């Protein structure tokens, strides 16, 4: 009778296939998420940060606004802000209304995104006399609204007179005037060309807008093709003046009353 003590050990089989599949799925999930976010930012809305006081008192330095894109249609300007492409034909395009606050690609550098208020539409005759806007020969309504303080980029503030401006459509908004004799207070009548807009900042003495030629750092006439979207809401706001304070006090700079507030 023969006896054997030999045993056969099973061989361990190692495979990298499940690990590779898991890695590929993770990467795929991330790609899908990025594409969904980009699609939403392109088709629905995109947040933007306000770095200057040109739209005070409507928009404050440190506001984070939400620009909805579908009201004016889509073209290359509708892509997320970090993507810069030449002009393209606008699909499902529609003109803004007078009084709309719009985000647009600055004609001088399409990588820069600016925000102003639409005052004149194609074919409108726009002029300024002593700071008062005149559209198609009719001065817009203007009424005093007390005093305010315009914030500067360094966190300081300057006294400003408040006025309620009423456009021909009946839409009202508040503007700031810092002085009575600003060089931009008077402008000869000009006709807004086809496919262009006349835009202004609500802080009338601190805004490089359609009153200022593009060659001088302003907007000039704004091509409709440069529109990104309409500003409908502020989603958050933080007082940049808090930057000079200790870090632990920074939460006090949150302007909670402006969170999720409408823009008019």
Q: Which residues have a catalytic role annotated?
A: 54, 116
CA distance 73 to 87: 14
Give the burial class of 185: count Cβ atoms within 10 A of its Cβ; 0-12 exposed, 13-18 middle, 19 or more buried.
middle
Burial 224-261 (b: 16+ CB within 10 A, else e): bbbbbbbbbbbebbbbbbbeeeeeeeeeeeeeeebeee
Chain centroid, CA 199 distance in Å: 14
Alpha helices (H) along the chain: 17-43
CA distance 105 to 75: 12
Residue 264 is classified by DSSP as -
Peptide bond into 169 cis (omega under 30): no
On whether the CB atoms of residues 237 and 254 are closer than 8 A, the answer is yes
**Residue 98 CB coordination number (10 Å):** 20
Residue 60 neighbours by CB under 8 Å, 6+ apart = 50, 53, 151, 237, 255, 258
Would strands 227-237 and 63-68 be described as parallel, antiparallel, or unpaired? antiparallel
């Amino acid at each position: 009778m023969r006896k054997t003590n030999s045993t056969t050990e099973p061989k361990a089989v190692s495979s990298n296939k499940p690990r590779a599949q898991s890695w590929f799925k993770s990467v795929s999930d991330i790609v899908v998420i990025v594409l969904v976010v980009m699609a939403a930012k392109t088709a629905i809305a995109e947040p933007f940060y306000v770095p200057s006081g040109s739209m005070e008192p409507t928009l404050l330095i440190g506001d984070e606004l939400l620009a909805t894109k579908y009201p004016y249609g889509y073209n290359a300007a509708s892509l997320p802000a970090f993507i810069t492409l030449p002009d393209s034909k606008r699909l499902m395009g529609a003109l803004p209304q007078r009084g709309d606050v719009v985000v647009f690609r600055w004609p001088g550098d399409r990588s820069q995104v600016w925000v102003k208020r639409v005052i004149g539409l194609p074919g409108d005759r726009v002029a300024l006399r002593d700071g008062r806007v005149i559209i198609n020969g009719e001065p817009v309504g203007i009424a005093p609204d007390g005093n305010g303080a315009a914030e500067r980029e360094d966190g300081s503030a300057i006294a400003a007179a408040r006025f309620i401006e009423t456009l021909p459509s009946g839409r009202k908004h508040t503007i700031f005037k810092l002085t009575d004799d600003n060089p931009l207070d008077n402008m000869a009548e000009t006709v807004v060309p086809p496919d262009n807009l006349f835009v202004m900042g609500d802080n009338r003495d601190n805004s490089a807008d359609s009153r200022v030629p593009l060659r001088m750092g302003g907007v000039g006439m704004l091509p409709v093709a440069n529109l990104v979207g309409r500003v409908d809401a502020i989603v958050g706001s933080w007082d940049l003046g808090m930057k000079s304070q200790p870090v632990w006090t920074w939460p006090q700079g949150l302007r909670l009353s402006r969170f999720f507030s409408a823009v008019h």
